[in-house]
A and B are shown apart, each in its own frame.
Chain A
Amino acid sequence: MIIDFTHIIEQLPELVRSMGVTLAIWLVGTAGALVLGFFVALGLRFGSRLVRWLLYFYVELIRGTPFLVQLFLLYYGGPFIGIALDPIPAGLLGVTVYGAAYFSEIFRAGFDAIPRGHVEAAQCLGLSRMQIIFRIEVPEMTMLVLPPAVNMTVILLKETAVLSIITVPELTFLMQAIGSQQYAFVEAMAVLACFYWAMVSITGRIGKAFEQKLSKFTFAHT
């Protein structure tokens, strides 16, 4: 058997298009997950008992089941309860709901890591509860969660590969198709691995640069 990439190179336009789908779903899904996760974290921290209980249930459910199963249930089970989505919207919703559960936990841990005294100082100076949340706690939490949040973003990129099982035309879906049609599975998977690895590396670099930029905001040594 000979390693031969010609079949893959022949499909270059398709390849580029499906890379675009992967990147778009990843970026939009991550943005959605960050926003939703942020509100879930706020709800978990500052909400009423009922709100907290419902959000806790959501986070535990998502974290306690495989992403693959969640997608199956959403895409194939959704129509039974009136949620009939096309593959791309379903995939996007899946990534958002899945990512948000993890992001909310990251944000929650970030809130917990803020020294109690920083909030007390604000209370003593007369800041209201809302002012303390949005002027003190949210900015400090954001700095604290940068490394784990970048890590989760990278994980979400790799999780988009799972969307192939609900026929989202992203890169993994295409490469599986090329691989089986052309008997070039090894080549297809090698290209796929290189793509994910390159994107993860770039994301990691950007995250590091961000961290360095924010390093002067890190907690002062006392």
Chain B
Amino acid sequence: MTTAPISAHPAISVRGVSKRFGQTEVLHGIDLDIPQGQVTCVIGPSGSGKSTLLRCMAFLEEATEGTILINGEPLGFSQAMGAARVRLSPERIRAVRANIGMCFQQFNLWPHMTALGNVSEALKTARGVPKAQAEERAMAQLRKVGLEDRAGHYPSQLSGGQQQRVAIARALACEPKIMLFDEPTSSLDPELTGEVLKVMRDLAADGMTMVVVSHEIGFAASVANRITFLDEGKLLLHGTPAEVFGKPRHPRLDQFLDTYLDRGAAMLV
């Protein structure tokens, strides 16, 4: 065998990642491994850098220092021991990024395309799949998120929850190995949050590697295999929900969870 099996690597390895916007440092030397086939929830107060960390994992933000490996392959920059970081070619970046599917807080569906158009677009353009085949595969993804009957609707004709499910189907259509979720339910009301979380639960049950930045502490506690707690750009805690949420609890986390008491996290306290 010439190559190690993929599972030999963590799905994502974050190595010494720092991110500065001008003078403000939003991430300080983050080291983190995301295990294969598991759900990792990233929690923390607003401004703690959790979205920035996730966006670095999708190479939507470039880390100021450090490297990120996707299934052992460097994303964006590679760095040999003790040497300077080298920027990789756009083709290389795109190839590694093809492993990743991303879902955004604002859904970011393209308003001029139907649900089916949104889901099949990347297959048709980026992957060169023939139209009929691409639409068939897109339809299968829409079925998976329960929106087959909305295939011909435009985003403006869909509820927020439906839009986010289409966005999940769009990301899944390219068969990513890792799904990143950036506060996927933060712009939805509670009723619509449920339908999106259900799709994410199903995805987790299928064994998808997922990294979820979320304020849904209940979801984190019940679905996640790993919890990562960020505070002021530093990784404060990382472990199983039992380790992180169990007592004795880190005082900073305790303080953070207190703000959730009124929002369904009572069961944890």
Contacts and interface: CB of A to CB of B under 8 A. Distances in A.
A218 B156 contact: yes
Q: Which one of B98, B109, B125 has the greatest number of beta carbons of chain A within 10 Å? A: B125
Interface in B123-141: 125-127
Nearest to A135: B125
Interface in A129-165: 131, 135-136, 139-140, 143
B163 to A, nearest CB: 6
A217 B155 CA distance: 8
B58 A128 contact: no
A126 B126 contact: yes
A208 interface: no
B198 interface: no
Contact of B157 (A117, A122, A126, A216): A216
B108 A118 contact: yes
A125 B106 contact: no
Contact of A127 (B106, B112, B126): B126
Q: Which one of B58, B106, B158 has the greatest number of beta carbons of chain A within 10 Å? A: B106
Nearest to A126: B126
A126 B174 contact: yes
B28 interface: no
Interface in B77-103: 94, 97-98, 100-102
Given A121-B104, A124-B60, A131 B155 contact: no
Q: What is the interface of chain A mostly: helix, strand, loop, or mixed?
A: helix
B156 A124 contact: no
Nearest to B167: A121
A120 interface: yes
B121 interface: yes
A117 B108 CA distance: 6
Contacts of B97: 123-124, 126
B101 A124 contact: yes
Contacts, number: 88
Interface residues of B, number: 33
A222 interface: yes
Contacts of B210: none
B171 interface: yes
B60 A220 contact: no
A125 B107 contact: no
B122 A126 contact: yes
B121 A125 contact: yes
A128 B60 CA distance: 14
A39 interface: no
Contacts of B260: none
Contact of A220 (B104, B158, B170): B158
Nearest to B170: A125
B160 interface: yes
B142 to A, nearest CB: 16
B245 interface: no
Contacts of A218: 111, 156
A77 interface: no
A124 B157 contact: no
A136 B104 CA distance: 17
Given A131-B125, A139-B110, A222-B107, 11 more contacts: A125-B121, A125-B170, A135-B125, A140-B111, A143-B112, A216-B157, A218-B111, A220-B107, A220-B109, A220-B111, A220-B156
